[in-house]
Amino acid sequence: MKEMIVSVCLVSVATAIFKMLVPENSFKKQISFLIACFFAISLMSIFTKGKFEVDFSSEAFNQQNDFLDISKRVNDKAYRELGEKLADKIKILLDEEGIKTKQILINVNIPNLYSISISEVRLVFDNPQSQDAQKAKEVVQNFVGEDIKVSVIG
């Protein structure tokens, strides 16, 4: 019992020292969380007499991989849907101008959690040098703006 009390006191002192060393910056919450985890795990280890184990089995990692797989599928679906919707709008716009394309390819980027961008629109024609192809490029460029590259390919 005396050993347990001494151990709890030492862990408490160590935790207090760690908390005093935490810098005042953007990582304060994360470092404080890590210190709290250290304190909690140390206490559990003391009260379970060292028989406390953290599970690093493959099952725990598989759950993380499942989350990553779901996240990747959601991102892929967002890429596809956004590209398809923009391609549909461009097709309608070109149909109104009487221009027929073989295919419309959209390059969609999701660089971070809060933004989605379109970097390129490619219009596929049998003859990329035709008058219709050049007119389509001009119409689409006006529609999407100057920030997005529009190209005509064969």
pLDDT in tens, 107-145: 877 666 556 677 888 999 888 888 888 999 999 888 888
Distance CA 102, CA 83 (A): 16
Counted residue by residue, the chain has a size of 154
SS3 119: strand
Q: In what order do the strands lie in the sheet with 103-112?
A: 103-112, 115-124, 149-153
Question: If we measure between CA atoms, which residue out of 101, 107, 106, 108 comes closest to residue 154?
Answer: 101
* % of the chain beyond a pLDDT of 70: 73
Beta strands in 5-129 (DSSP E): 103-112, 115-124
45-84 tens-digit pLDDT:
766 665 545 555 555 555 555 555 666 676 677 677 777 8
Stronger pLDDT, 20 or 152, i.e. the higher one:
152
For residue 84, the model assigns a pLDDT of 82
The stretch 18-44 carries a mean pLDDT of 75
Whether this prediction's pTM lies above 0.85 is answered by no
Q: What is the mean pLDDT of the chain?
A: 76
